Every structure is written in structure tokens, then in C-alpha cells.
């Protein structure tokens, strides 16, 4: 897609800043069985800015149609990921290794972490490179593989299924780590309407109601503060004011044949017009 020089980027073209919590993280997948999971996790690396994906003895074809399909924009990262024969060789250069398990292993491994606690554990170690390790879909990490890790993370479940799909577990864990203590990303708020624009809308609204005889049975002096409070409660943007004025203008055009702008026809004129009797019908031709 061609873009004019100096034109703003489309939201899909803006690359958000990486989470500082995932700096130095390498993602290690051990004995993965499903190519769909491999592809989906490779795609997650693109979502979370993880450039270091490592595979340990995968039990499925890495370069296959399903893995490539679900990796989408991260196919090359998946196909170029290094493959290791065992976990110790895959994490030999890491200053901290964090395993994962759906089972409880406090007796052998000590207390588990939840994802938001991982950044503090990484900071306490001062590790420049650290590993986050996930086992395969059938039985997770073996106990000897968990013993290769200094600590471990556990995802609590709240239903009868106590373990998550592998790709989902990776997504939940990375999200919990990435967002811990990090302000949420938000788009630029739309420009707020000026006080003058809101006041003009207020007057135009009142004048339109006068013109369509809204106040025949209501006291306009009691309605004025009600309308004012309502407009003040709304966080009106420039576009909101334009849309509301357009609606009122169309009401005027449909009912009276012209849009009746406030500057051209003040409120007093609208009151006079609303109070005037309707024109007499033309006399029938003889």
C-alpha cells in the first residue's frame, strides 16, 4: 500500500514498543507433538517481540503445511529455530531457567510463580538471557526436565480442566509477564470539542426544540439546565458535536426546508417562528 510522505501510519502499521519484562527471554518448547501448536506459538513470538525460539527434540515435523499456516508472519522464525537434543543443551547459556507445569511440584521444586511474578524473579537474578520452558501437550515437562529449571510457573485453572492447551498456556503466560506493571497501550484519544462548540450545540438544540413546538407543554427555563447538565456529562469530541449538529440540521431541513443555523437565525427568531400561526391555506380556484 502506497503512503503519501508525511501521512500518518495506519494503526496496523504501527509497531508497539516491546515489553521490558520480556527483554532477554528465549522461549523453549520441549518435545512438542502438534505442528498447529508450533505454528501458533511462533506467531505468539511476533505478538510479544520474542526473537529467540528454541526447539528440543520436536515430535512432529517443523517444516510442514500446518505449522507454516499457523505461524503466518513468523514462518521464517519457526523454520530457522535451532533444534537441540535435550533441555540442558538448549538452556546452557541462560542465567535463569523457568519451567512450567500444570501439576503441583512444591515438594520437589519449591513454591511456584504466577506469570506476573516472573519479572521480579528475573530482576533478582540479574540474568541477561533467561529461558521460559514448556513441555509437550501430553504430559508437559518431565520431573528431570523441571529439575533443570531454577524455578517454575503454574497457571491456575478455575474449572475441571486443570491444564491448558499448549499454545494457550504460552499465550497466557507471556501476556501475564509482559503486562505486569506495564501501563496499557492505548490509541490517541480523539480531540475534545471546545467549550464554544458545545455552547453553540446547546443553543442550536434548544432553538430546534422551540421550532418543532417541543415546549408547548414544558417549561423551557426548567429544561435548559437539564440539557446543559446532560451535555456536560458527555465527553463530547469534535466529531460528536458535528454528528449531533448534523442530526438537528436534518430535522430542521425535513420539517422547514432549511437547516436554520444558529448564527444565521438566533434563538429569539426561532421562538417567534415557533409561536407564529401556520399560514392560511391558499383559496380554492373558482
Indicate the DSSP class of residue 54.
E
pTM over 0.85: no
Nearest CA to 51 among 121, 103, 129, 118? 129
Instruction: Give φ, ψ of 231 to 5 degrees.
Output: -65, -35
Q: What is the mean pLDDT of residues 229-254?
A: 93
Q: What is the mean pLDDT of residues 116-135?
A: 95
Check pLDDT > 60 for residue 1. no
User: What percentage of the chain carries pLDDT values higher than 70?
Assistant: 86
Report the range of poorest mean pLDDT among 11-15, 49-53, 129-133, 273-277: 273-277
Check pLDDT > 80 for residue 220. yes
Report the range of poorest mean pLDDT among 50-59, 187-196, 262-271: 262-271
Q: Grid coordinates standing for 246?
A: 448534523
Q: Over the stretch 134-163, which tens digit does the pLDDT of each residue have?
A: 999 999 999 999 999 999 999 999 999 989
Longest Cα separation, the chain = 109
Look at residue 258 in the predicted model and tell me its pLDDT. 82
Check pLDDT > 50 for residue 87. yes
Look at residue 261 in the predicted model and tell me its pLDDT. 61
Look at residue 283 in the predicted model and tell me its pLDDT. 53
Q: What is the mean pLDDT of residues 227-241?
A: 94
Q: What is the mean pLDDT of residues 227-249?
A: 94
Which domains are seen in the chain, by residue range? Answer: 21-179 (3.40.1280.10), 195-275 (no CATH)
Check pLDDT > 70 for residue 271. no
Q: What is the mean pLDDT of residues 170-176?
A: 97
Averaged pLDDT score across all residues of the chain: 87
Check pLDDT > 60 for residue 3. no
Nearest CA to 121 among 87, 150, 92? 150
How far apart are alpha carbons 241 and 244 in whole angstroms?
5
Report the range of poorest mean pLDDT among 5-14, 196-205, 242-251, 266-275: 266-275
User: Which run of H or of E encompasses 98?
Assistant: strand 96-100
90 and 142 in contact (C-beta within 8 Å)? Answer: no
Burial of 27-56, coded b for 16+ CB within 10 Å and e otherwise, reads bbbbbbebbbbbbbbbbbbeebbbebbbbb
Alpha helix (H) residue ranges in 126-219: 143-146, 166-179, 195-211
- Which residues make beta-bridge pairs with 113? 153
Indicate the DSSP class of residue 192.
B
User: What percentage of the chain carries pLDDT values higher than 90?
Assistant: 69
Check pLDDT > 70 for residue 276. no
Q: What is the mean pLDDT of residues 201-207?
A: 93
Look at residue 286 in the predicted model and tell me its pLDDT. 41
Q: Residue 207 CA to chain centroid, in angstroms?
A: 41
Instruction: Give φ, ψ of 132 to 5 degrees.
Output: -115, 115
Q: What is the mean pLDDT of residues 169-178?
A: 97
Look at residue 188 in the predicted model and tell me its pLDDT. 80
3-state DSSP call for residue 51? Answer: coil
The single residue listed with the C-alpha cell 502506497 is 2
List of residues 6+ apart from 131 with CB closer than 8 A: 25, 26, 27, 28, 54, 90, 91, 94, 96, 97, 98
Q: Grid coordinates standing for 212?
A: 418543532
Amino acid at each position: 500500500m502506497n503512503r503519501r510522505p508525511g501521512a500518518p501510519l495506519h494503526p496496523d502499521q504501527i509497531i508497539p514498543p516491546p515489553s521490558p519484562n520480556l527483554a532477554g527471554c528465549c522461549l523453549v518448547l520441549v518435545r512438542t507433538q502438534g505442528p498447529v501448536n508450533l505454528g501458533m506459538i511462533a506467531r505468539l513470538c511476533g505478538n510479544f517481540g520474542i526473537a529467540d525460539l528454541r526447539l528440543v527434540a520436536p515430535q512432529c515435523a517443523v517444516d510442514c503445511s500446518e505449522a507454516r499456516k499457523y505461524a503466518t508472519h513468523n514462518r521464517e522464525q519457526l523454520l530457522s529455530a535451532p533444534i537441540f537434543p535435550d533441555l540442558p543443551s538448549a538452556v546452557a547459556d541462560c542465567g535463569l531457567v523457568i519451567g512450567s507445569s500444570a501439576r503441583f511440584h512444591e515438594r520437589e521444586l519449591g513454591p511456584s510463580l504466577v506469570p506476573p511474578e516472573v519479572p521480579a524473579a528475573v530482576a533478582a537474578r540479574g540474568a541477561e538471557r533467561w529461558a521460559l520452558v514448556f513441555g509437550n501437550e501430553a504430559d508437559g515437562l518431565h520431573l528431570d526436565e523441571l529439575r533443570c529449571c531454577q524455578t517454575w510457573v503454574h497457571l491456575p485453572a478455575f474449572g475441571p480442566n486443570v491444564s491448558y492447551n499448549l499454545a494457550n498456556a504460552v499465550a497466557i503466560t507471556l501476556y501475564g509477564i509482559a503486562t505486569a506493571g506495564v501501563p496499557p497501550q492505548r490509541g490517541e484519544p480523539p480531540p475534545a470539542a471546545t467549550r464554544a462548540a458545545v455552547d453553540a450545540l446547546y443553543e442550536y438544540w434548544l432553538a430546534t426544540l422551540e421550532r418543532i413546538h417541543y415546549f408547548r407543554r414544558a417549561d423551557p427555563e426548567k429544561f435548559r439546565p437539564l440539557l446543559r447538565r446532560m451535555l456536560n456529562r458527555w465527553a463530547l469530541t469534535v466529531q460528536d458535536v458535528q454528528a449531533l449538529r448534523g442530526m438537528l440540521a436534518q430535522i430542521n431541513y425535513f420539517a422547514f426546508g432549511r437547516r436554520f443555523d444558529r448564527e444565521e437565525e438566533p434563538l429569539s427568531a426561532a421562538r417567534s417562528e415557533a409561536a407564529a400561526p401556520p399560514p392560511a391555506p391558499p383559496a380554492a380556484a373558482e
